[in-house]
Protein backbone atom coordinates (compact mmCIF):
# COMPACT_ATOMS: atom_id res chain seq x y z
CA UNK A 1 0.00 0.00 0.00
CA UNK A 2 1.27 3.46 -0.87
CA UNK A 3 0.97 5.11 2.53
CA UNK A 4 2.36 8.42 1.30
CA UNK A 5 -0.31 8.62 -1.37
CA UNK A 6 -3.06 7.75 1.13
CA UNK A 7 -1.78 10.33 3.59
CA UNK A 8 -1.68 12.90 0.82
CA UNK A 9 -5.30 12.19 -0.14
CA UNK A 10 -6.35 12.42 3.48
CA UNK A 11 -4.66 15.78 3.90
CA UNK A 12 -6.29 17.09 0.72
CA UNK A 13 -9.72 15.93 1.96
CA UNK A 14 -9.20 17.56 5.36
CA UNK A 15 -8.02 20.74 3.68
CA UNK A 16 -11.13 20.82 1.49
CA UNK A 17 -13.42 20.26 4.47
CA UNK A 18 -11.63 22.91 6.53
CA UNK A 19 -11.70 25.27 3.56
CA UNK A 20 -15.45 24.76 3.11
CA UNK A 21 -16.11 25.42 6.79
CA UNK A 22 -13.85 28.47 6.71
CA UNK A 23 -15.57 29.86 3.62
CA UNK A 24 -18.98 29.23 5.22
CA UNK A 25 -17.90 31.02 8.40
CA UNK A 26 -16.58 33.98 6.41
CA UNK A 27 -19.79 34.09 4.34
CA UNK A 28 -21.98 33.91 7.43
CA UNK A 29 -19.89 36.47 9.31
CA UNK A 30 -21.07 39.03 6.79
CA UNK A 31 -24.60 38.32 7.98
CA UNK A 32 -25.71 40.86 10.53
CA UNK A 33 -28.45 39.56 12.83
CA UNK A 34 -30.24 41.82 15.31
CA UNK A 35 -31.58 40.53 18.61
CA UNK A 36 -33.84 43.11 20.27
CA UNK A 37 -34.02 42.89 24.06
CA UNK A 38 -35.75 44.97 26.72
CA UNK A 39 -33.39 47.11 28.77
CA UNK A 40 -34.73 45.39 31.88
CA UNK A 41 -36.14 41.89 32.44
CA UNK A 42 -35.43 40.22 29.11
CA UNK A 43 -35.39 36.40 29.10
CA UNK A 44 -31.72 35.36 29.50
CA UNK A 45 -31.87 31.82 28.08
CA UNK A 46 -33.70 32.96 24.96
CA UNK A 47 -31.06 35.61 24.36
CA UNK A 48 -27.95 33.58 25.26
CA UNK A 49 -28.91 30.34 23.52
CA UNK A 50 -30.11 32.05 20.36
CA UNK A 51 -27.00 34.21 20.21
CA UNK A 52 -24.66 31.28 20.88
CA UNK A 53 -26.17 29.17 18.08
CA UNK A 54 -25.87 32.09 15.66
CA UNK A 55 -22.30 32.91 16.72
CA UNK A 56 -21.24 29.28 16.38
CA UNK A 57 -22.52 29.33 12.81
CA UNK A 58 -20.42 32.41 12.11
CA UNK A 59 -23.15 35.04 12.20
CA UNK A 60 -22.49 38.46 13.68
CA UNK A 61 -25.09 39.29 16.34
CA UNK A 62 -26.00 42.89 17.15
CA UNK A 63 -27.86 43.55 20.41
CA UNK A 64 -30.43 46.34 20.21
CA UNK A 65 -32.36 47.76 23.18
CA UNK A 66 -34.38 50.89 24.06
CA UNK A 67 -31.54 52.23 26.24
CA UNK A 68 -27.78 52.44 25.80
CA UNK A 69 -25.23 50.84 28.12
CA UNK A 70 -26.27 47.47 29.49
CA UNK A 71 -29.52 45.54 29.29
CA UNK A 72 -30.44 43.42 32.30
CA UNK A 73 -32.06 40.00 32.26
CA UNK A 74 -34.56 38.57 34.71
CA UNK A 75 -31.77 36.59 36.42
CA UNK A 76 -29.63 39.68 37.01
CA UNK A 77 -27.13 39.01 34.24
CA UNK A 78 -26.44 41.77 31.76
CA UNK A 79 -25.36 42.26 28.17
CA UNK A 80 -23.80 45.21 26.41
CA UNK A 81 -26.15 47.07 24.07
CA UNK A 82 -24.64 47.64 20.62
CA UNK A 83 -27.34 49.90 19.22
CA UNK A 84 -30.17 51.94 20.70
CA UNK A 85 -33.57 51.05 19.29
CA UNK A 86 -34.58 54.50 18.08
CA UNK A 87 -31.25 55.01 16.26
CA UNK A 88 -30.58 51.72 14.51
CA UNK A 89 -31.28 51.31 10.80
CA UNK A 90 -32.99 48.00 10.01
CA UNK A 91 -31.86 48.26 6.37
CA UNK A 92 -28.29 47.38 7.35
CA UNK A 93 -29.19 43.97 8.79
CA UNK A 94 -30.21 40.60 7.39
CA UNK A 95 -32.60 39.58 10.13
CA UNK A 96 -34.32 41.17 13.13
CA UNK A 97 -35.65 39.09 16.02
CA UNK A 98 -37.31 40.03 19.31
CA UNK A 99 -36.39 38.25 22.53
CA UNK A 100 -39.10 37.69 25.15
CA UNK A 101 -39.46 38.02 28.89
CA UNK A 102 -41.59 40.35 31.03
CA UNK A 103 -39.54 43.30 29.84
CA UNK A 104 -40.75 42.74 26.29
CA UNK A 105 -44.31 43.44 27.40
CA UNK A 106 -43.23 46.52 29.37
CA UNK A 107 -40.83 48.09 26.85
CA UNK A 108 -41.12 46.55 23.39
CA UNK A 109 -44.87 46.44 22.79
CA UNK A 110 -44.73 49.88 21.16
CA UNK A 111 -45.51 51.69 17.94
CA UNK A 112 -41.77 52.10 17.28
CA UNK A 113 -41.28 48.34 17.31
CA UNK A 114 -44.43 47.79 15.24
CA UNK A 115 -43.24 50.14 12.50
CA UNK A 116 -39.66 48.84 12.59
CA UNK A 117 -40.71 45.22 12.22
CA UNK A 118 -43.32 46.04 9.54
CA UNK A 119 -40.76 47.96 7.50
CA UNK A 120 -38.15 45.22 7.89
CA UNK A 121 -40.60 42.54 6.79
CA UNK A 122 -41.87 44.60 3.87
CA UNK A 123 -38.31 45.04 2.64
CA UNK A 124 -37.74 41.28 2.58
CA UNK A 125 -35.82 40.88 5.81
CA UNK A 126 -36.12 37.74 7.92
CA UNK A 127 -37.92 38.60 11.15
CA UNK A 128 -39.24 36.79 14.18
CA UNK A 129 -39.93 36.66 17.86
CA UNK A 130 -39.84 34.25 20.79
CA UNK A 131 -41.88 33.78 23.98
CA UNK A 132 -44.13 36.79 24.66
CA UNK A 133 -42.88 38.69 21.64
CA UNK A 134 -44.89 36.99 18.85
CA UNK A 135 -47.80 38.95 20.32
CA UNK A 136 -45.93 42.09 19.35
CA UNK A 137 -45.70 40.91 15.74
CA UNK A 138 -49.41 40.07 15.82
CA UNK A 139 -50.32 43.54 17.06
CA UNK A 140 -48.11 45.03 14.36
CA UNK A 141 -50.32 43.28 11.78
CA UNK A 142 -47.42 41.20 10.44
CA UNK A 143 -48.85 37.80 11.37
CA UNK A 144 -52.25 38.20 9.76
CA UNK A 145 -52.99 34.97 7.87
CA UNK A 146 -49.66 33.49 9.00
CA UNK A 147 -48.88 30.45 11.10
CA UNK A 148 -47.21 31.29 14.40
CA UNK A 149 -46.58 30.14 17.94
CA UNK A 150 -45.64 31.76 21.24
CA UNK A 151 -45.73 31.70 25.03
CA UNK A 152 -49.17 30.85 26.36
CA UNK A 153 -48.80 30.24 30.10
CA UNK A 154 -51.47 32.88 30.71
CA UNK A 155 -53.86 31.14 28.26
CA UNK A 156 -54.43 34.38 26.36
CA UNK A 157 -52.56 33.61 23.16
CA UNK A 158 -55.51 31.90 21.47
CA UNK A 159 -57.68 34.98 21.85
CA UNK A 160 -54.90 37.40 20.86
CA UNK A 161 -54.07 35.44 17.73
CA UNK A 162 -57.75 35.19 16.80
CA UNK A 163 -58.12 38.95 17.26
CA UNK A 164 -55.28 39.60 14.83
CA UNK A 165 -56.20 36.72 12.47
CA UNK A 166 -53.12 34.64 13.20
CA UNK A 167 -53.15 30.87 12.70
CA UNK A 168 -52.01 29.40 16.02
CA UNK A 169 -49.71 26.43 15.42
CA UNK A 170 -48.95 24.90 18.82
CA UNK A 171 -45.38 23.86 18.04
CA UNK A 172 -42.13 24.94 19.73
CA UNK A 173 -40.89 26.75 16.61
CA UNK A 174 -42.89 27.78 13.55
CA UNK A 175 -41.57 29.19 10.28
CA UNK A 176 -43.91 30.80 7.77
CA UNK A 177 -42.11 32.44 4.87
CA UNK A 178 -39.57 34.89 6.30
CA UNK A 179 -41.16 34.85 9.77
CA UNK A 180 -39.97 32.64 12.64
CA UNK A 181 -41.75 32.37 15.99
CA UNK A 182 -40.95 30.27 19.05
CA UNK A 183 -42.68 29.52 22.33
CA UNK A 184 -40.01 30.15 24.98
CA UNK A 185 -36.57 29.46 26.47
CA UNK A 186 -36.65 25.71 25.94
CA UNK A 187 -36.95 26.37 22.22
CA UNK A 188 -34.22 29.02 21.98
CA UNK A 189 -31.62 26.76 20.36
CA UNK A 190 -34.15 25.54 17.81
CA UNK A 191 -35.14 29.18 17.24
CA UNK A 192 -31.50 30.01 16.45
CA UNK A 193 -31.21 27.05 14.09
CA UNK A 194 -34.39 28.12 12.31
CA UNK A 195 -32.88 31.57 11.80
CA UNK A 196 -29.78 30.01 10.27
CA UNK A 197 -31.86 27.80 8.00
CA UNK A 198 -33.98 30.66 6.68
CA UNK A 199 -30.93 32.82 5.96
CA UNK A 200 -28.55 30.25 4.49
CA UNK A 201 -29.88 30.63 0.94
CA UNK A 202 -30.64 34.35 1.07
Cβ atoms of 103 and 38 within 8 Å: the answer is yes
Nearest to 151 by CA among 122, 129, 166: 129
3-state secondary structure of 178: coil
The pLDDT tens digits along the chain (202 residues) read 554 554 454 444 544 444 555 454 444 457 999 999 999 999 999 999 999 999 999 999 999 999 999 999 999 999 999 999 999 999 999 999 999 999 999 999 999 999 999 999 999 999 999 999 999 999 999 999 999 999 999 999 999 999 999 999 999 999 999 999 999 999 999 999 999 999 986 6
Q: How many CB atoms lie within 10 A of CB 92?
A: 10
Cβ atoms of 195 and 128 within 8 Å: the answer is yes
Amino acid sequence: MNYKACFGCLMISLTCVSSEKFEKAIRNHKRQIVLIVASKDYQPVEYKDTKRVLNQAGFNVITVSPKSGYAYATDGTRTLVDKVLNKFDYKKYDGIFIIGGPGAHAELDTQLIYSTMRNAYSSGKAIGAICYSPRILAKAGILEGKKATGWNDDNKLDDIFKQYQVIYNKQPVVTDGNIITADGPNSAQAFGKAIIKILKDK
